[in-house]
Chains A and B, each alone.
Chain A
């Protein structure tokens, strides 16, 4: 999935909380930050920038910002601005895909546990407890180090680490919804279990999940950056913000800009997601 599809899911017009978004200044600041990166990521192929993976050996002598390289070049003489924008494209593609995949698994687990109760619930909840007892970074490190670093494996790791948490939220919501009249009505109409779960229950879990989704986008962006920094991110030469910082930290005393610019890019995107989540929480509490 590309960044455009990700932006579409984030902005799908759901009645209620998302329509009131403009009334929260915090949320709008966050949304603006995110949209700037989405726009840059979408425009990356048409922007007049140098190739992000091509070294400019002449620029390596003075790697600072110049007319040719606005933000300077990285330790291998590659244009920093181009690498940051292309790196943003990767993050904005991988993070939403990973969170959406985690949501599919987590919602399924939560729905099954909350709907069927009994041993299904016990099994799924125990499994979630075990996964949630791992320190998150430790889980990522041993998993990625063993299955190998790649975009797909990052998605797999995020699903494994986040789905139990999502399942816990969904299960709680389903348990409280099961007493509602519309669920009883669906039973009377003899709807199938799958219908009740997907059409009656899941849409009614929407409110708290939208906020959680934004928060998880922020966390996942942190995770992708951190994995890159630990050397477990996307394989080179693809630009990856965390990896760029890792590569440049050994030169931080001489060329601090090489690590500072990708760091700031990463922080601004995470801040965007977090502010958006914060604004959404505020709006939902105002109800």
Chain B
């Protein structure tokens, strides 16, 4: 198991390295762009040329990527903080430390000052959504898969396929139309601070609902399929035939095996949630990580894009590792 963990950990690191290079390739492919984006649209051409020179943007892409990794790991000083550039980019942590993501040109602050607050807000949103998704989808999926083909199964299956057919932004618009415009029960935006007298918890309701409903439909379908498959197994038939109460057949016999596949799927939902928060946070003006990534991309804030994607990738690959390890622990067959 330890060897397996080490191997998977190394693979994860390699994936992060390759993926971050791809991101670097996409964002910094044209070096002229980088200097221009850093200085903004109103900078003089001489300033752009000077920065181009100072940052050695003429070097091959791979060299520049290695330098970026150097700054990130604290081996090299962040060139943008050089006082000679007169950019006034100051980082209280200094210009050389581990985890230096550079300077955000959009927020005019070190990336580390911007990133983690936003990530915390998003973690709150995603955590609440997760707390709704897991019980809801398990309950619906098990109820539907318990008796495949029953009326309940048909109702649940239809609802979940409809839910997965509504993109997050469309769901957001529909919920806003119902609960904000029509019923006026909830606020339409969630800035997480005083908002026309709406308490914070009311601001969280709609974003959480959007994330939860979209994903719960998908997970419920997986749980249902897994449950229906287990219910058709001979050992479940035996349990029924030997006269066990239905409750016990479901809780003691069927559920244990039926939960293995959904376990991995549920953890992999975190990857989907990261995408979902980009859209949801935009709909509700939520001060989170996803909206920040979108704004950074539209603005051309190179350092922030690279940092945010790396963090998103880390979360995604870490949960994937977690789900694989969990799967091996849960399913003895996978260990062989």
Chain A residues within CB distance 8 Å of chain B: 126, 129-130, 133-138, 141-143, 145-147, 218, 222, 225-226, 229-231, 242, 245, 249, 252-253, 256, 259-260, 263, 266-267, 270-271, 274-275, 278
Contacts and interface: CB of A to CB of B under 8 A. Distances in A.
B169 A225 contact: yes
Main secondary structure on chain A at its contact with chain B?
helix
27 contacts: A129-B15, A130-B15, A133-B313, A133-B316, A133-B317, A134-B19, A135-B272, A135-B275, A135-B313, A138-B309, A145-B298, A218-B165, A226-B169, A226-B279, A229-B169, A230-B294, A245-B169, A245-B170, A253-B181, A256-B181, A266-B167, A267-B166, A267-B170, A270-B165, A270-B167, A271-B165, A278-B161
Contacts of B282: 229-230
Contact of A142 (B27, B177, B271): B27
B23 interface: yes
Contacts of A256: 177, 181
Interface string B2-22: 000000000000010011001
Contacts of B78: none
A242 B23 CA distance: 26
Interface residues of B, number: 45
B320 to A, nearest CB: 7
A142 B167 contact: no
Contact of A266 (B164, B170, B180): B170
Given A133-B316, A138-B274, A252 B169 contact: no
A230 B278 contact: yes
Contacts of B188: 252-253
Contact of B19 (A133, A136, A143, A218): A133
B15 A135 contact: no
B278 A137 contact: yes
A134 B313 contact: yes
Contacts of A147: 26
Contact of A133 (B15, B174, B181, B305): B15
